[in-house]
Amino acid sequence: MSRAGEDTAWRLAAARGLNAIAAHDAREGALSQESAPVVLVKDNIAVRGQSWTAGSPLFAGCRADRDAGAVQRLREAGACFPVRTTLHELAFGVTGANAWSGDIANPHDPGRIAGGSSGGAGAALALGLGDLALVTDTGGSARIPAALCGVIGFRPSTGRYPGDGLIGLSPSRDTLGLMARSLAPILWADAVIAGEAKEEPGFPGSPTIAIPAPEALGSLEPAVGAAFARTVTVLEALGVRTVPCDLSRITALDEACGFPIALFETARSLAASVPALTGRDLASSLGRIAGADVRELVSSALSGEAVPQAVYDEAIGTTWPALRGAFAELFAHGIDAVLQPTVPMVAPARAGGETVTVCGEAVPAFPTLSRFTRPDSMAGLPAISLPVGCDDAGLPIGMMLTGARGRDRALLQLAARLAGPFRDKATRAVPRRG
């Protein structure tokens, strides 16, 4: 075995040790090759002939008989797909917890979470595996683990990428997403998957970035708050125009419609995909869901008690359009992007389970870790998490830029233009040998 092959095998073993790898199929191509882009694929996305379990015994034994549309486009462009990455069970969580395949550990400190739901991709990329990861993002799943693992995570506008070949949750929110250690693979893959032959117009002159007031961001760990302030200062020194913005109405609208829509649609999505892939109905299969947290959520959603039809109808018919309208109004006033921390803290301890501690206060993990990624997900906007360094303990910190709906390439071009905090900050984890 070559030195490159030995190094890759060692990193693959390290990723397995973090519960980041669902499967490895060497027939798809060598992980160490340089002749083709090596794409890691989250295990809720179809790759022909490979396992397709969404990280749950609910789909144990399922194999895809065809490629998802996005996978097919990347394959036609020369990519190979030798690795399936793990996820929070059914992609229904933000910590990377999985009672079936094992909780995903952070490569920078295995005692901490990798984030979710695409934690396996974040951990594997941070260890140096692959060039790119194809993942999903319903409420932050490409960006939260990217921030906690020190890589880049991109969520496109909802509907930009083909949506077939996905064990999904909420059609109003679901999209494929991309993760990588640098922007170049994301720029390449986005163009391939979206089928865009030429660039859309970027931002002429100096971009304008909206900055929420510190009090509007809520409680932030000191290191994250300092990184946010430092990022704003550096951007202004680079000539970026910064303006204050008020996101309170957007936050309120998302809180009113986001969870009801996600929970209502998840029950119906799984009620369709479970029999289609397994031949069993969802109601009689709930006991196959390994994690109590996920099982209880799905059971509650399926019963209809958590979100009655009338509540969903109000959320999807009235509040959701108002949320999209509020974002459109924000961007109509000359704003090119909104800057926020991706996550209000560095990776929390795995021992905390579904509770995390921010500034000494114990709070629920899901609403805390997804605080900044939920509203733009619900509105279907493009957003990208970029690494901006680490705290004193070496734990990565990410900042997020959100753009106007449909302005994906312009947002990626903006991220590529920005130097300082958004360049060469991806933090590769170095596992111990032996």
> Which residues are part of the catalytic machinery?
42, 117, 141
Cα–Cα distance, 145 to 139 (Å, whole number): 12
Element of type H or E holding 234: helix 222-237
| Residue 51 neighbours by CB under 8 Å, 6+ apart | 22, 23, 43, 62, 63, 84
Pairing label, strands 132-136, 176-180: antiparallel
Angstrom distance (rounded) from CA 162 to CA 166: 10
CB 339 within 8 A of CB 400: yes
Q: From 400, 401, 398, 404, select the one nearest 380 (Cα to Cα).
A: 404
Cα–Cα distance, 100 to 400 (Å, whole number): 31
Contact 6, 12 (CB under 8 A): no
- The DSSP bridge partners found for residue 402 are 338, 383
Give the whole-angstrom CA distance, residue 153 versus residue 387.
9
- Cα–Cα dist 377/267, whole Å: 19
CA distances from residue 167 to 53, 70, 264, 300, 356 in whole angstroms, order as listed? 8, 14, 16, 19, 28
Q: Tokens for 311?
A: 């509540």
CB 20 within 8 A of CB 120: yes
Q: Whose CA is closest to 47, among 133, 129, 124, 105?
A: 133
Residue 165 near residue 67, CB atoms below 8 Å: yes
Kindly report whether the peptide bond that precedes residue 117 is cis, defined as omega within 30 degrees of 0: yes
